[in-house]
Each structure stands twice: as structure tokens, then as C-alpha cells.
Structure 1
Amino acid sequence: MVNNPELNNLPPIKLIPLNAETASLLGRTTSTSSTRPPTDIRWVKVLEFLRSNNLAPNSRKLYERELKRFLAWSEMHYHELRPRHLALYKEYLRDELRTDAGNPLSKSSINASIAALKSFFKWMSYTYPEIIATNPTLGIKLEKVPLPPAQSLTPEEMEQVWSALELLGETKQRDTALLHILSHGLRAGEVVQLNVGSFDGKLLFLPDTKTNEPRLVPLRKESREVVADYLQLRSQQGEVLSSLSPLMISHHASYKGERLSYYGIYFAVEKIGEIAHIEDLHPHSFRHTYATDLLLLGVDPSHARKLTGHQSEKAFRRYTLRSEQEAAIAAYYRAIGEEAEQ
């Protein structure tokens, strides 16, 4: 090493960390918003999963949120994950994670998170078996929660709904047809996908449902006539209808004539709920009512499930509770020789 006297006289170099104070002196900013972490390569598969599944907007948001939370918790690559890691994550959700209010997650929230992971890793193991040979969520069980009661509308509330339709303006015929379809148990996301060709004058054909199984939905006479009248009105107004034309169209100024969206359906139903003075009326209210009414009419539960498109017998169980209760009450009064009150 060369001994240079001039170099020996140089002052020592001092490293100063770049904090907010020193950054301001240098005319720089340490704002976290300007610093973005590198893209997580694992997220690419999540985006592909979200695109490849027929998810309603709310379900998509839930899946995206829960998968993002899991990837933030674990830095492991997909091929490294084992059931024990998912079990640890479930413990984290149950014992450590807190809501904004500082409360533990409810069992339903934990189940929603686990269900999102189960759905994603089932898709991964099927689509990319070279990455995940065995689904790591198979042994992870959901929390036991009481079966929530069906949120069915009463006959009086349904009368209020039909009366409210008479007070609508431009959207009256569209919304009347919409409610007749919803009252046959369709999900909002399924209604969005309906085309003119999906209706043959008697049945609705749903080729791509939540369960990925096609479904036929028979409409009662009044509903068939309402839907047919709505399509006839659109033809009379100059619209050229084809089999691929949307069955329900928007009346919003920015989307007039386009396919009625998921949010458009929710907005229309909420508006009707306000007129009818029914709190928290939403499209699924009619699905609950339809399923409950089928069972009260004596339709076999397996046939009712086919009509509603419920894949899980457990999920459909909530609708059978009321019909079983009413049947038990009627059986009691028959046994003692009295008539049940109607």
C-alpha cells in the first residue's frame, strides 16, 4: 500500500442517515408515498385467478383483500407452503389480528378469509400442478358458526314492493321486469349476464352461474308476460334486438342503452326499497324469499336447490328451517284435533 502524506491529511468521512431533517436540507423528500415496493411476483397468480373466475364485484373485493392480507403475512413462495403454514395463519387471524375498532375478528370474518384461500389454492393446484402439487388448505377447517336465518320478505313486504313499482317513472317497466326475474331466485351477477336469447318465452337459461353449472329457471305466467312486454317496448322504441342483446339495459345518462351493471341492479333495488319503506332491501332479499317460498309450497328440497343453483346442501339448510318449523306446528295441531292459525 502506498503511503501518501496528502491522503493522510484528509478529514474522515462520516455517513449521515437520510432522515426527514437531512432530506429537507438536501431538498429531497422521504414521503413513503413516493417509495413503492417491488411488485410481488406471487400477486400475478392472484390477478389471474380473479380474472378467470366469475365473481360478483363484492366477492372479488373480498377475495382480493384476503389474498393480499395473506401474502403480506407470509413471504413464502407458493410451492413452499404446507398445511401447517395455513394453520398458523388461521391462528393469526383468530388470536392476533384486530379490526379497526380493536376487536378480534368474528368467526364469520375468519371463515371468509379461509374460504378465499381455499378457493385460490384449489384453483392453483388445478391450474398450476407443477407449482402446487397438493392443495395446502385441504386440512384447514372453517370455524363453527350458527346458521344465519334466511332474510325473507313477508307477503306484506312483497305487496309494498309491487306497489312501489307503480310510482316509478322512466324505469318502471325495466324495474318491474327486473324484480320479476330477481323474485325467481337469480343472483344479481346472473341477471347482469342475461341476454335476450336467454329468455325463450317461458324459461331463463343461465349458461355460466356461480357454481359453473348451467341452470334453467322456469318463470310463472305473470313474469313471462312482464319480461315479454318489456322487450316489446324496447323494440317499439327503435332498439334492434338480437339474441346477444342484454336482457336488462341501463337508463343512466352515461350508460344509456348499455347492459345494466351489478351496481345498477343494486341501485334500482335500493331505490324501490326507499319508496316501499323497507330497510336494507337488496337483490338477495328476493333470492331468500324465493327459496323459502319454494319449501313452504312443498317443493322437494333437492328440486328447490336445483332451481336456486345452490351447490351446497349446508348453505341451503337455512331455508328449510322455517318450512320444517311450520310443518311441525301444523302436525301438532292435527294431532290434537285443532286447526293451525293461518
Structure 2
Amino acid sequence: MNEIEEFLDYLEVERNFSPHTLSAYHTDLTQFYNFLRERGTFRGWAGVTREDILAFMLYLKERKYTASTIVRRVSALHSFFVYLLREGRIERDPCEGLEMPRVSRRLPRVLSAEEVDELLELPARSNTPVALRDRAMLEVAYAAGLRVSELVGLKLDSINLATGSIRCIGKQNRERIIPLSATAVQAVQEYLEAGRPYLARSSTEQHLFLNRRGRPMTRQGFWLMLKKYAEEIGLYDITPHTLRHTFATHALQRKADLRSVQELLGHTSIATTQIYTQLATEQLHEAYERAHPRAGEEG
């Protein structure tokens, strides 16, 4: 287990991985380690074989893990063994050359403009501190396309109401400045004036979004809040990432440059951003089918 801790330290210090990513690596590697120990086949990391990896993949498949999860687990193992190989702890990577399960690439769920409007207006029915917070969080999430970890990680000094922008620290501590819509700026301003002061329990707390106990909102807390509002309007299949997908798709529909959307989302590779061009095209086609009086006619 010492090697796992050393690897995680390396990812944190030298690669600037986020706590969330480090936690995922820890879970993946520990599960594999425990799997080998329970089978009685752990002979040190240098003794791990290709057959051990294949047995682990079968173990995951039998327990109904999805193909994408299995691929992620093996990818974590591969990164770990590459690290050990570079450090001279092992002589070869047992993951090398493995054939991965085929992952079906389903397009992400994207909300229509009407669904977004309906969702974002729900908290506006009330002026309680929690409702003001909820509206501000939803507006910022959609206006900026933030990852949920980035959203709950915002600090008071992350937002500049004068310029209408936020400073976001993304994956591997990469910083980006993202403009906000006027509606999002107004929602945050109202929350800061009439919401956050009643939620805060300490003058030293610097996180922007707080829960009822005055503590920083968590990823799970935001997910539960979003789920509650979404189900009120019959949306049962959305996640916090849906708002990010929707932001990107709507931006491209409004003719935003693909490179600009890549920068706003904080994607390292533009290939990751390109999937949204397909989503944007599909949504425009659906809107045409709904709106055009002759769209459904056959020739």
C-alpha cells in the first residue's frame, strides 16, 4: 500500500491533480489491491501479471460494473504501473496491450432553452436565503458551464460583480476567467446581499455558496438540490453535468467559436469539446422539426 500512497503524492504534488481525482485513483487502486489480497495472489507489485488484470476485469464485469467504469479502473492501474516502471520498482507494465471493453459513446443529455428557463425560475418563487442561494448556483452553473467541483469550490474573491466574471480554478490548478450573464450576476448579487449573510456562521468562511449550517456546499448537496427542482418539472434524467453540457451546446448554437468554448470549459483537448457540435446540430434539427409547419411532410 505504500506504493499507492507514494503514487498519489506524486499526482498531487507534481501533476496538480484535484482532491476529487485523487480520491477516484485511491478507490480504484485500493479495490484492485484488496481483490488480489482476497484471492491470495498478491506477491508484491512486481509480481502482478496480465492474468491478474484480466481476472480483475472479469470480477468487475460479473458485478455489473459498466464498461466505462472498467476502462477507468484499468486506466488507473496502467498509470500506476507506468509510474512504478519509471521508478524502477517493476520490470514491465502488466496492463500493456490489454484489449479494453467497448464503451458505447452516448451523447450527453442537453436541456432545451425552454427547460433551462423553467428550471432556473423555480427558486425565484421564494426569497428565503436558501432559495436565493439555489437560484444563484443554478444561474452560475448554466452561465459559466462549470464542473460541479468548480462550482462548489468558488470563493468570495472568485467573483467580480463589476466586470461580471468569475475566476475559476479547474483541473490541475488551471485558472480561467469566465464571463457571466447579466441574470447570473444579478442572482449572485441578491444572494450576497440577502442570502449568504443569513447562512454564514463565521466571518472567516470564504466559500461563496454555503449550506444551512454555514458550511461550504458539497457536490452531493448541489446534486440533491438540482434533483429536487428538476423533478418538479418532470426532468428525471439530469445530473449536475447536464448544465455544463447544455451551456456548451447552447453556446455553439449561438455561433460561439469552438476554441472559445474549449477555453471556457477548461478542456485540455479540443477533441473533448467537439462532441458538443453534434449535440448543437441535433438540437437545432429538433427545434426545426417542432417549429416548421412543413417539417413533417413527406415529398
1-structure distance, mates of 2:197, 2:60: 58
Q: 1:210 to 1:136 in 2, by over 3 A?
A: farther
Shift of 1:109: 2.5
- Which sits farther off after the overlay, 281-290 or 153-162? 153-162
Which residue pairs with 1:224 in the alignment? Answer: 185
Q: Which has the larger radius of gyration?
A: 1
Q: Which runs of 5+ in 1 are unaligned?
A: 1-39, 331-337
Equivalent of 1:315, from 259, 263, 272? 272
Shift of 1:248: 0.7
Identity of aligned residues (%): 22
Equivalent of 1:75, from 29, 36, 42? 42
2-structure distance, mates of 1:153, 1:329: 12
Q: How does 1:3-82 map to 2 (within 5 A)?
A: 40-45=1-6, 48=9, 53-56=17-20, 62-71=24-33, 72-73=35-36, 75-78=42-45, 80=46
Shift of 1:229: 2.3
- Note if contact 2:133-2:196 (Cα within 8 Å) is conserved in structure 1: no
Greater helix percent: which structure? 2
Shift of 1:61: 5.8
- Note if contact 1:55-1:210 (Cα within 8 Å) is conserved in structure 2: no
- Note if contact 2:130-2:195 (Cα within 8 Å) is conserved in structure 1: no
Q: Which runs of 5+ in 2 are unaligned?
A: none
Shift of 1:307: 0.5
Which residue pairs with 2:55 in the alignment? Answer: 92
Q: 1:96 to 1:285 in 2, by over 3 A?
A: closer
Supply the AA of the counterpart residue of 2:140.
I
Q: 1:190 to 1:139 in 2, by over 3 A?
A: farther
Supply the AA of the counterpart residue of 2:18.
N
2-structure distance, mates of 1:292, 1:310: 14
2-structure distance, mates of 1:237, 1:295: 38
Which residue pairs with 2:132 in the alignment? Answer: 173
2-structure distance, mates of 1:186, 1:133: 41
Equivalent of 1:198, from 158, 174, 188? 158
Q: 1:264 to 1:322 in 2, by over 3 A?
A: closer
2-structure distance, mates of 1:165, 1:116: 40
TM-score computed with the length of structure 1 as normaliser: 0.67
Which residue pairs with 1:156 in the alignment? Answer: 114
Number of residue equivalences: 279
2-structure distance, mates of 1:68, 1:42: 11
Supply the AA of the counterpart residue of 2:135.
T
TM-score computed with the length of structure 2 as normaliser: 0.75
SS at structure 2 position matched to 1:204: strand
1:283 aligns with 2:243: no
Shift of 1:199: 0.7
Which residue pairs with 1:266 in the alignment? Answer: 223
1:110 aligns with 2:70: yes
- Note if contact 1:90-1:110 (Cα within 8 Å) is conserved in structure 2: no
